[in-house]
Amino acid sequence: MGVAGRVGHMWLKRVALCVVVLLGATVLTGPATAQSTPRHSQPTTHTQPTTHTQPTTHTQPTRHIRYVQWTSRADWRSGARDGTVAGHGSIRIGRPAGVIRYHDPYGNGGRRSYDVGRWISPWTAARFGLDELIASWSTDTPRGTWIGVEARGRNRAGVTSSWDVLGRWASHDSRFHRMSLGTQPDDLARVAVDTLMTRHANRLVRWQLRLTLFRRSGSDFSPTVRSIGAMVSRLPDASSVPRSTPGAARGVSLRVPHLSQMVHQGEYPQWDNGGEAWCSPTSTSMVLRYWHRGPTARQLAWVNDAYAHPAVDYAARSTYDYRYEGTGNWPFSAAYAARFHLDAFVTRLRSLREAERFISAGIPLVASIAFGPGELTGSPISSSAGHLLVITGFTNRGNVIVNDPAAATASQVRRVYRRGQFENAWIPATGGVVYVIHPTYQRLPPHHGHHNW
């Protein structure tokens, strides 16, 4: 995936998925379109490797993060519905609110008519004044159906932003092509691929999501949305963090299957050509295998029989963002995992101490990182402007055990990274972004009042 690097609040937009440096040669995958330029103008810069060998005792700036989700019948009824009906744990189109004509910019047909239903969340408070929002959703989208997710906010002066589209999503791509919609700037916020971002003077103290469900006119099928939520955050401006003290997960290692993205080099150029570009679908596929979930043999039938691990090809196709031209859209990856009757969402963690709670609960995490040369000892790649891997455990000394899909083969995927180095490749670089993927029977760990999951 091409995640963003970050120096303080200087986020880099995902620059061509999984940008890596291999043996000193920079490899960029994907075209340099307007959607693949930096989120801000400056890249992450480092003058020397950052290592922290001792935990700090100094008070650290507060990392404001909160995750809110709507999923129960009562939750759905708490919002405003127009053309939708709330069932037991889901919402779908009822008597449509109207009909629209939609032209898929990446399809071959003309405009098609769709019935529409909408749901708008209640206004939700973010007293700390959020500056970023990332949505997540879980939905079934039969052919001929899709959903759109939007967000807006209100600042302390009472000014309300426009609705900004965070994604148009369907699990299929035969007649509809999932996509992000670009920056959509207004006076309060803009969108960087999948993340609503505000200017500092316009931090939002309240926010809303709008969910729109679409089905081909005349059809009885409907999207069925099981959950929708968002992570909102305001993080301190820091280019490094002190190493956290190891916690209860020391010595715990989850048996997550090993998969390499590199064995897929050159596969399906229309979905970003495999290899360096497929860290997100490969990492997501490893976690799905851990939970014994994933596509069926029938669903995989289109994949070339000569390709190893066809579930990775399937995941790449199923998460590909046709506007962004890559497989690194965070919410799309979570929505793909949720197709397999899993709860999946994107959030941020404050340190590896929080990650340890998930490992202790038996839940591996897909983490988004970025690092420069010499900053992540033992990595199969020398640097990356954006990469995803799976946190699978911790050594007795508290170092991080990962499945790093950038390894050349599956047998080389397991790696151990120094705790301080990993936290500095993760927390300052992406704000601690993770995909949390788990079956509903596997309870999440206690959040101890922090409410970021």
Task: Please tell me which residue, 448 or 378, carries the higher pLDDT value.
Answer: 378
The average pLDDT across 45-60 equals 41
What would the pLDDT profile of 361-402 be if each residue is shown by its tens digit?
A: 999 999 999 999 999 999 999 999 999 999 999 999 999 999
Instruction: Tell me how far CA of residue 297 lies from CA of 13, 285, 294, 310, in angstroms.
Output: 36, 15, 10, 10
Confidence of residue 30 (pLDDT cuts 50, 70, 90): very low
Confidence of residue 201 (pLDDT cuts 50, 70, 90): confident
Question: At residue 47, does pLDDT exceed 50?
Answer: no
Question: At residue 403, does pLDDT exceed 80?
Answer: yes
What would the pLDDT profile of 12-25 be if each residue is shown by its tens digit?
A: 434 334 544 443 33
Mean pLDDT of the chain: 88
Confidence of residue 202 (pLDDT cuts 50, 70, 90): confident
Query: Residue 449's pLDDT is what?
Result: 87
What would the pLDDT profile of 77-86 be if each residue is shown by its tens digit?
A: 999 999 999 9
Domains and CATH numbers, the chain: 6-62+239-438 (3.90.70.10), 64-234 (2.60.120)
- Which of 11-20, 253-262, 289-298, 313-322 is least confident? 11-20
Query: Could you tell me whether strands 10-11 and 20-22 are parallel, antiparallel, or unpaired per DSSP bridges?
Result: unpaired
Question: At residue 168, does pLDDT exceed 50?
Answer: yes
Q: Is 390 exposed, middle or buried (0-12, 13-18, 19+ CB in 10 A)?
A: buried
d(CA 200, CA 149) in angstroms, rounded, equals 24
d(CA 452, CA 373) in angstroms, rounded, equals 31
What would the pLDDT profile of 313-323 be if each residue is shown by its tens digit?
A: 999 999 999 99
- In 3-state terms, what secondary structure has residue 259? coil
333: its two tokens: 């990856």
Q: Which of 389, 337, 393 lies closest to 363, judged by CA?
A: 393
For residues 365 and 355, the answer to whether their CB atoms sit within 8 Å is yes
Query: Residue 187's pLDDT is what?
Result: 81
- In 3-state terms, what secondary structure has residue 369? strand
Query: Residue 35's pLDDT is what?
Result: 34
d(CA 362, CA 291) in angstroms, rounded, equals 10
For residues 362 and 410, the answer to whether their CB atoms sit within 8 Å is no
Question: At residue 148, does pLDDT exceed 90?
Answer: yes
For residues 394 and 326, the answer to whether their CB atoms sit within 8 Å is no
126: Cβ–Cβ under 8 A, 6 or more apart, which residues? Answer: 66, 204, 205, 206, 207, 232
